[in-house]
Structure 1
Amino acid sequence: MSTPFYVSPQQAMADRAEYARKGIARGRSLVVLQYADGIVFVAENPSRALHKVSEIYDRIAFAATGKYNEYESLRIGGTRYADLRGYTYDREDVTARGLANLYAQTLGNIFSSAAEKPYEVELLVAEVGESPADDEIYRLPHDGSIIDEHGSVAVGGNSDQIGSYLGQRHRDDMDLGEALRLAVESLTRDSNGGERELTADQLEVAVLDRTRPQQRKFKRLPGRQLARLLQEGGEAGSAAGQEPEPEQESGSEQD
C-alpha cells in the first residue's frame, strides 16, 4: 500500500498563491491614476469587445487584469449587487468600499477552497468623490486582501516597474491630458527597461469625471479623442524643444 503524499497547509497555500500570481503576470498591464478632475483608467487592450474597465454604478468603476472569464463573472456579480442595493435602499448606499468587501469575501473563499483553483485575477474598484481627497481606490489581489491605494496603481504584467515609474512622476493636480500621457509612458516600458510603442488603437481608456453634470460619472474615451490628447502632449514637447526666434532690434522695420 503506497503512502499518501503529504503537503503542509502552508506549502499548499504558497503554491496556490504562486499559481495565481504567475497567471496574473501573464496578463496585459493596467494603470489607474488620480488627476485634478477625477480618476483615469488606462489598459493595454486591443480588443474593442472584451473590456478590462467597466462602470459598476454612478460614481464607481471596475478594472481588472488576468483571466477574462473569471473577472467578468466578478464584474457581473458586483453590478447586480450594486443595482439591488441601490434599488432596495438608496443610491448613496452603493459604495466602492462595500463592493471591495464583497469581492474580498468572494476571492478569499475561492482562494482558500481546496475544491477549486484560485482565480487568476487582480481587481481595482474606484469611486470618485466631490474632491480629490474623497476619491477611493481599492486593489484586490487573488487572495481577497484589500489594499487602499492613493495617487496611482498598476496591476498585471510588469506592474512593479510600472508602479515605480508612476510613483516618481505622478501628481494629484495633473490635468487629464498629463495623467493620460504619463500612464501611456509607463505602459510602454517593458520588464527589461526598454521602451515600445503603444497607439490609441491598442488602449482602452475610461474616466470617472467628477465635473460631469450627470449622476453617472463614468465615460469611455473614444479613439479619436484619445489620439488627440496623446498628440497634444507630443506637439507641446516638440514646441518646448524648439529654439526661440531671435527678437528684432527696436529700430528695425517689419515687413
Structure 2
Amino acid sequence: MSSPFYVSPEQLMKDRADFARKGIARGRSVVAAQYADGLLFASENPSQALHKVSEIYDRIAFAAVGRYNEFENLRIAGVRLADMRGYAYDRRDVTGRGLANAYAQTLGTIFSSGGEKPYEVEIFVGEVGDVAADDQLFRLTYDGQVADEHGFAVMGGQVETVSEGLKDADLTGAPLADVLRAVVKALGHSDSGDRVIPTGHLEVAVLDRTRTQTRKFSRLSPARLDALLGDRGTATPAPAAEGDGDAGRAPTSPTVDDPRDPTDQVSGSVPPLEDPTTGEPPIAPPS
C-alpha cells in the first residue's frame, strides 16, 4: 500500500496564500479614502451594471476586488445579515465592525479549510459616523485578517503604484472634489506614465454624513463626476493587454476581476455569516 503524499501545513498555507494573492493582483485597484463629509470609494470599472462598490445598510458600504462571483456572494450574505440583525434588534445594532468580524470569520474558515480553494477577494467595509472621528474603514484580506485603516487604503491591482500616487497628497479634512481628483489621478498613475481615465469608466460612491436621508450611500453619476473633476485633458482608457485582470482574456478563461465577463455570474451558495460553525445561513425576516 502506497503512503499518501505529504505536504507540510506551512507549505500548504503558503501555496493557498500565493494562489489568492495572484488572483487578486490581476484585478484593478479599488481606493477608499476619507474626506471632510464621509468616505469615498473609487475604482476603474467600465461596466455600468456590475459594481465593485455597493450599499450594505444605512451607514455601511462594501467594496471589493477579485473574483466577481465570490465577492458578490459575500455582499449578498452581508445584506442578509444586516437586515436580519436590524429587524430582530434595532437598526443601531448594525455596525461596520460587526459586519467586518462576520466577514473575517467566513474568509478565515474558507482559507483554512482543505476542502475548497480560498476566496480570491479583498474587501473594504466602511461606516460613516456623525463626525469625522467616528468614521470607520476596515480592510479584510483573503485569509480573514482585519485591518483598521485611516486616511486612505488601496487593494487589488497595482497597490504600490496607486499608493505612491496618493501618499504625497494631503487628504486630511479635504473636500470631496479635492479627494476625488487625487484618487482618480492615482488610479491612472503607472510606471509608464499617467493616463486620464474616462468618466464613464469610473465607479465612484460615497458615504455622505450630510445627507438628510437615513441611507447615507450615494453613487456619483458621470455628470456629477465631470463637474467635480473639471478639465483633465484627453481621456485615455486602459488598453486591453494580455494578462490584465479586466481585459484581453478569452471567454473560456474565467477572469478574476472582470465585471464585464458574461460568464462570470453569481453562482454557488451564499456563505453563512451568522453561524459559520453550524453552517446555517441567516433566515430573511418576513416582509
- TM-score normalized with structure 2 length: 0.79
> What secondary structure sits across from 1:107 in the alignment?
helix
AA aligned opposite 2:83: D
Residue 193 of structure 1 and its aligned partner are, at CA, apart by: 5.1
Corresponding residue for residue 86 of structure 1: 86
Corresponding residue for residue 185 of structure 2: 185
**Cα deviations across residues 178-206 of structure 1 (Å, max 9, x unaligned)?**
0100000110012x352222011111000
Residue 13 of structure 1 and its aligned partner are, at CA, apart by: 0.2
Gapped regions of structure 2 (runs ≥ 5): 234-287
Residue 162 of structure 1 and its aligned partner are, at CA, apart by: 1.4
**Cα deviations across residues 120-142 of structure 1 (Å, max 9, x unaligned)?**
00000000011111000000000
Q: Is 1:207–1:220's contact at 8 Å kept on the other side of the alignment? A: yes
AA aligned opposite 1:157: G
> What secondary structure sits across from 2:40 in the alignment?
strand
> What secondary structure sits across from 2:230 in the alignment?
helix
- Supply the distance in 1 between the matched residues of 2:100 and 2:159 (Cα, whole angstroms): 21
Superposed, 1:45-194 pairs within 5 Å as: 45-190=45-190, 192=191, 194=193
- Supply the distance in 2 between the matched residues of 1:182 and 1:162 (Cα, whole angstroms): 10
> What secondary structure sits across from 2:33 in the alignment?
strand
Q: Please identify, of 201-210 and 168-177, the stretch whose mean Cα deviation from structure 2 is larger.
A: 168-177
Corresponding residue for residue 210 of structure 2: 211
Q: Is 1:86–1:92's contact at 8 Å kept on the other side of the alignment? A: yes
Instruction: Give the aligned length.
Output: 233
- Supply the distance in 2 between the matched residues of 1:179 and 1:141 (Cα, whole angstroms): 25
Q: Is 1:31–1:42's contact at 8 Å kept on the other side of the alignment? A: yes
Corresponding residue for residue 230 of structure 1: 229
Q: Is 1:27–1:65's contact at 8 Å kept on the other side of the alignment? A: yes
**Cα deviations across residues 114-166 of structure 1 (Å, max 9, x unaligned)?**
00000000000000011111000000000001000001001110112212332
The percentage of counterpart residues that share the same residue type is 59
Residue 2 of structure 1 and its aligned partner are, at CA, apart by: 4.6
**Cα deviations across residues 209-236 of structure 1 (Å, max 9, x unaligned)?**
01011111000000111112111677xx
- Supply the distance in 1 between the matched residues of 2:77 and 2:98 (Cα, whole angstroms): 13
Corresponding residue for residue 20 of structure 1: 20
> What secondary structure sits across from 2:168 in the alignment?
helix
Q: Is 2:165–2:185's contact at 8 Å kept on the other side of the alignment? A: no
- What's the Cα RMSD here? 1.3
User: 4+ residue stretches of structure 1 with deviation over 4 A?
Assistant: none
Gapped regions of structure 1 (runs ≥ 5): 235-255
Q: Is 1:177–1:233's contact at 8 Å kept on the other side of the alignment? A: no
- Supply the distance in 2 between the matched residues of 1:62 and 1:15 (Cα, whole angstroms): 28
**Cα deviations across residues 39-79 of structure 1 (Å, max 9, x unaligned)?**
11111100011100000000000000000000000000000
**Cα deviations across residues 82-112 of structure 1 (Å, max 9, x unaligned)?**
0000011000000000000000000000000
> What secondary structure sits across from 2:12 in the alignment?
helix
Q: Is 2:165–2:189's contact at 8 Å kept on the other side of the alignment? A: no
Q: Is 1:40–1:205's contact at 8 Å kept on the other side of the alignment? A: yes
Residue 6 of structure 1 and its aligned partner are, at CA, apart by: 1.6
- Supply the distance in 1 between the matched residues of 2:62 and 2:150 (Cα, whole angstroms): 16
> What secondary structure sits across from 1:125 in the alignment?
strand
Corresponding residue for residue 253 of structure 1: none
Q: Is 1:181–1:233's contact at 8 Å kept on the other side of the alignment? A: no
Q: Of the two, which has the highest radius of gyration? A: 1
Q: Please identify, of 223-232 and 20-29, the stretch whose mean Cα deviation from structure 2 is larger.
A: 223-232
Corresponding residue for residue 241 of structure 1: none
> What secondary structure sits across from 1:41 in the alignment?
strand
Residue 3 of structure 1 and its aligned partner are, at CA, apart by: 4.5
